[in-house]
Amino acid sequence: MHPIKNGCKYLETIQSQHRLKFTFYYKYLTMSLVQEFNDYRSKMNEVILAHDHLPLKRFFSLDNQMYQEGALPVKTKELLGLVASMVLRCDDCIKYHLQKCFENKVSSEEIYDVFAIANMVGGSICIPHTRRAAEFWEELIGNREEAKG
């Protein structure tokens, strides 16, 4: 058995015996930034939507509609979502749109054009978010190369 998984298995036994919380710790050891972000996002979106708050559900649904093809293509809309997330400095929103950009074949050169404009408009206060964005982007690129290689 995988030694980390094995160690985690052991921790899970302790956890269930003692009702402690360390799910996140487990994840940290075994997951990539991308997986970790997506897992938490899916899990908590489910929790939120399960509360069945109609206007809030409509808000979530409208958020999806906004990025569908309109006068502007999906790719441009995702670039807009990314730059808006960067100047408002929300790491999770940045990660979400970086993934969408990646799926829509945005190149690294184009991503860095967005990074540059975001820093110019939003200021040096955006630099730490740019560092985390760059790390996430490298992982997305890295995963693709690994898949090919």
- 125 forms part of the interface with its own copies (CB under 8 A): yes
Task: Answer whether 74's CB lies under 8 Å from 101's CB.
Answer: no
Cβ atoms within 10 Å, residue 87: 17
Tokens representing residue 26 in the block? 């487990």
Least CB distance to its own copies at residue 127 (A): 7
Considering only residues 81 to 120 of the shown chain, the ones binding its own copies according to CB under 8 A are 81, 83-85, 87-93, 107-110, 112-120
Q: Pick the closer one to its own copies by CB: 20 or 103.
A: 20
Q: Which of 103, 135, 141, 144 contacts its own copies by CB under 8 A?
A: 135
Task: Answer whether 28's CB lies under 8 Å from 36's CB.
Answer: yes
The span from the CA of 104 to the CA of 108, in Å, is: 12
Least CB distance to its own copies at residue 123 (A): 3
Backbone angles phi, psi at 36, to 5 degrees: -60, -45
Among 48, 46, 64, 47, which Cα is nearest to 56's?
48
Least CB distance to its own copies at residue 135 (A): 6
Q: Pick the closer one to its own copies by CB: 61 or 103.
A: 61
The binding track of 53-72 with respect to its own copies, each residue x by CB under 8 A or -, is x-xx-xxx-xx-xxx--xxx
Least CB distance to its own copies at residue 98 (A): 14
Considering only residues 24 to 53 of the shown chain, the ones binding its own copies according to CB under 8 A are 24-25, 28-33, 40-41, 44-45, 47-48, 51, 53
Least CB distance to its own copies at residue 111 (A): 8
- Beta carbons within 8 Å of 136's beta carbon, 6+ residues apart: 33, 34, 37, 94, 95, 98
Task: Answer whether 81's CB lies under 8 Å from 97's CB.
Answer: yes
